[in-house]
Amino acid sequence: RWPWWPGGLSHCLGLGCGDSYGFHLGPQLLSSFFPSLNGWEIRETHKVYRQKLEEVTSLQTACSSSIHRQKKTLRDLKHNLQRCKPRATPEEFALIEQISTQIKERQNAFFDMEAYLPKKNGLYLNLVLGNVNVTLLSNQAKFAYKDEYEKFKLYLTIILLLGAVACRFILHYRVTDEVFNFLLVWYYCTLTIRESVLISNGSRIKGWWVSHHYVSTFLSGVMLTWPDGLMYQMFRSQFLAFSIFQSCVQFLQYYYQRGCLYRLRALGERNHLDLTVEGFQSWMWRGLTFLLPFLFCGHFWQLYNAITLFGLSRHKECKEWQVCVLAFTFLLLFLGNFLTTLKVVHTKLQKNKDKMKKL
């Protein structure tokens, strides 16, 4: 028996309670355990797995190097074509346009290929996560991460809506405002990280709608550091009302954009990794134009916030630096959101006008 285990070895193996119950371990019983110990097939399976993993790593390196070389060749070719355009004859110009179209298609193909290959992280991901490979190799993993991102946005939007309502109408305490502002900072920080991971995996979100979340993170951080006082109390109700409206609009956008994206993916018109955004993009023209008045209302509310804060900054009691910084930040958000949305609408209307002329 094992002196430190009640019932001895047989009890330890789950075979009874030893001699007390008349049970004895014989040579035959012990020998029956040897096949399960010697036949350790998992080691061979794991060895094969390691070999395949090394092969995959070698293939990834070879593909990445080949794509890098071909992209450099295409850039040089594109540059040479641009130089030839001014002196080209009509036939040569048509040929240059045809080659340029093929170059663009090849670049899009490379973009899709690189979504399945390890790549260097951008500056932001390097600062936050370090030089960690965030590329997900299977479509299933990519779609699962994207769906988790969308659910995260939905759940946090609802929580922020409830938090803003509670702070505006029920909880008139500075500590609850700080909790709400900290939640905003954490939400936007997390969004920027997750979006960067999705971009590394082939998502095509870009431009202002990426920068928008960085600016919102900064704004929420400044709000968090704004000390309680007369200036804060004068702006508090307006900011919370704006937060309630913004959360409602974001919820509407998520709900309708998700259905629109699902329909467009089924028709093969959108990528499976396209995301819902907090603005207006060209693919939303069919079916989501009714959101435009709400979006423009939110943009002009940001401008109103900026004007209010600029007015507070001239108040004789104003001593906080946060007032001026927030005013400029809200103005930046208004300009970015309004001009980007206006550009999308103008481009779409121009395309529709051109189509009507052709008809």
- Which of 22-31, 163-172, 283-292, 293-302 is least confident? 22-31
Q: Do 28 and 60 belong together in one domain?
A: no
Q: Do 236 and 354 belong together in one domain?
A: yes
Pick the most confident of 4-13, 196-205, 246-255. 246-255
Residue 1 within any structural domain of the chain: no
Residue 115, pLDDT above cutoff 70:
yes
Q: Do 32 and 162 belong together in one domain?
A: no
Confidence of residue 354 (pLDDT cuts 50, 70, 90): low
- Average pLDDT on 206-228 reads 90
Q: Give percent above pLDDT 70 in the chain.
A: 78
Confidence of residue 21 (pLDDT cuts 50, 70, 90): very low
What CA dihedral angle connects 258, 259, 265 and 268, to 10 degrees?
-140
- Average pLDDT on 317-346 reads 91
Long-range CB contacts (< 8 A, 24+ apart) of 193-197?
A: 193/124, 193/125, 193/128, 193/129, 194/145, 194/149, 194/152, 195/149, 195/275, 196/121, 196/122, 196/124, 196/125, 197/125, 197/134, 197/145
Q: Do 16 and 84 belong together in one domain?
A: no
The DSSP output letter for 14 is T
Residue 241 within any structural domain of the chain: yes
Domain boundary residue, one of 90, 114, 138: 114
SS3 helix, strand, coil % of the chain, rounded to 5?
75, 0, 25
Q: Do 103 and 139 belong together in one domain?
A: no
Q: For the chain, first and last CA: distance in Å?
A: 95
Burial of 215 by CB count in 10 Å (0-12 exposed, 13-18 middle, 19+ buried)?
middle
Domain that holds residue 24: 8-38
Nearest to 249 by CA among 343, 341, 347: 341
* Cβ count within 10 A of residue 353: 9
Residue 283 within any structural domain of the chain: yes
pLDDT tens per residue, range 265-294: 666 656 666 666 665 555 555 656 777 888
Confidence of residue 128 (pLDDT cuts 50, 70, 90): confident
Burial of 40 by CB count in 10 Å (0-12 exposed, 13-18 middle, 19+ buried)?
exposed
Residue 120 within any structural domain of the chain: no
How many domains does the structure of the chain reveal?
3
Whole-number pLDDT of residue 270: 60
Whole-number pLDDT of residue 119: 79
Residue 3 within any structural domain of the chain: no
Whole-number pLDDT of residue 311: 94
Specify the residue for token string 């789950």. Answer: 14
The mean pLDDT value of the chain amounts to: 81
State the pTM of this model: 0.76
- Which of 65-74, 122-131, 347-356 is least confident? 347-356
Residue 67 CA, chain-centre distance (Å), reads 25
Residue 102 within any structural domain of the chain: yes
Q: Do 171 and 98 belong together in one domain?
A: no
Write the Ramachandran bin of 133: left for phi over 0, alpha for psi from -120 to 50, otherwise beta.
beta
Q: Do 52 and 154 belong together in one domain?
A: no
- Which of 56-60, 286-290, 320-324, 329-333 is least confident? 286-290
pLDDT tens per residue, range 40-56: 678 888 888 889 888 88
Whole-number pLDDT of residue 345: 80
Residue 239 within any structural domain of the chain: yes
Residue 159, pLDDT above cutoff 90:
yes
- Spatial distance between the Cα atoms of 199 and 271, rounded to a whole number of angstroms: 13
Write the Ramachandran bin of 286: left for phi over 0, alpha for psi from -120 to 50, otherwise beta.
beta
- Spatial distance between the Cα atoms of 339 and 343, rounded to a whole number of angstroms: 6
Whole-number pLDDT of residue 265: 62
Q: Do 286 and 183 belong together in one domain?
A: yes
Residue 225, pLDDT above cutoff 60:
yes
Whole-number pLDDT of residue 262: 67
In whole angstroms, how far apart are CA 116 and each of 60, 135, 205? Answer: 9, 7, 17
Confidence of residue 298 (pLDDT cuts 50, 70, 90): very high
Whole-number pLDDT of residue 2: 46
Q: Do 90 and 134 belong together in one domain?
A: no
Q: Do 192 and 177 belong together in one domain?
A: yes
Return the amino acid letter for 2: W
Q: Do 64 and 83 belong together in one domain?
A: yes
- Which of 87-96, 110-119, 256-265 is least confident? 256-265
- Average pLDDT on 220-238 reads 94
* Cβ count within 10 A of residue 133: 14
Whole-number pLDDT of residue 158: 94
* Cβ count within 10 A of residue 357: 7
Residue 139 within any structural domain of the chain: yes
Domain boundary residue, one of 68, 89, 114: 114
Q: Do 315 and 208 belong together in one domain?
A: yes
Residue 60, pLDDT above cutoff 50:
yes
